[in-house]
Amino acid sequence: MNLIVRDNPSEIATLVCEKIITLVKRKPDAVLGLATGSSPVASYQKTVETAKNFDVDFSNITTFNLDEYVDNPDYLQSYRHFMDVNLFDKINIDRINTHFPEVSNPKKYDEDIDLAGGIDLQILGIGANGHIGFNEPNTPFDSKTHVVNLTEKTICDNARFFKSIADVPKRAVTMGLSTIMRAKEILLIATGANKAQAVKKMFDAPSETCPASILSLHGNVTVYCDKDASSLL
């Protein structure tokens, strides 16, 4: 895995944005794997600005998001809404090409990704417990898209996006670890001291106790950390 450490999250966002824009220009019908959470927000903002300033065309781009909540009655708290607000509303993407996994038929998601030609560039954050997508510790490395019960830790971590912890959905549907590993290139963003332990474990020998550690078995992964997130390496 390549490791890039920068002083602050804004420098990381610039680098990630460059990767996205370069791909979209080189391959106008590229397939992007997208993440939610706070980690990629600045990268999406820069992507929006760059797309506007340089007229970058997303009309033939396809996206597959990593995960979505289940049993969540509120569109405003969904990851679909998150992506609309942070990216899709602000670029000329065709909504029909934007995909989220569905609880009714998780397996179809892997098939749909394959049918689209596979993910060219996958963006990832990392949970404080080492999860990627919603693949919690001890998820099998060979997992495909599936429904998960979220851990207490993840529910607590994500409560900041909800009115109260009671409103955080207890289940989600997520790309599996093998689904993620099929992406041709993967970028993982980790910022802040609360990610330092997970980042350290990610660079240890691959183990299902740290889902992100599977990434060292992939040939084209770049990890972008700020100083705090990389402090234990």
Catalytic residue among 67, 110, 157, 226: 67
Binding site for ligand GLP (CB under 6 A): 35-39, 66-67, 125-127, 133-134, 154, 158
Residue 136 annotated in active site: yes
Choosing from 68, 110, 120, 136, the catalytic residue is 136
Closest approach, Cβ 176 to ligand GLP, in A, equals 13
Rounded to the nearest whole angstrom, what is the least distance from the CB of residue 174 to ligand GLP in the complex?
7
SS3 for 7? coil
> Cα dihedral angle (154, 159, 160, 162), rounded to 10 degrees?
140
Q: How far apart are CA 233 and CA 93, in angstroms?
A: 38
CA–CA separation, 166 and 155 (whole Å): 9
Distances in Å between the alpha carbon of 84 and those of 36, 41, 81, 139?
11, 12, 5, 29
125 or 176: whose CB is closer to ligand GLP? Answer: 125
Shorter beta-carbon distance to ligand GLP: residue 40 or 91: 40
Cα–Cα distance, 106 to 144 (Å, whole number)? 8
Active-site annotation holds for 131 = yes
**Which residue number is nearest to ligand GLP in terms of Cβ?**
125
Place of tokens 């990890």: 223
Catalytic residue among 97, 99, 131, 158: 131
Minimum CB separation from ligand GLP for residue 55, in Å? 29
Instruction: Identify the active-site residue in 65, 72, 97, 129.
Output: 129
Between 3 and 92, CB nearer to ligand GLP: 3
- Both tokens of 147, joined, read 């429904």
For ligand GLP, the closer CB: 154 or 230 = 154
Q: Could you tell me the smallest distance in angstroms from the CB atom of residue 25 to ligand GLP?
A: 26
**Spatial contact of 47 and 21, defined as CB atoms under 8 Å apart:** yes
Q: 200: which 2 tokens? A: 């350290």
Known catalytic residues are 67, 129, 131, 136
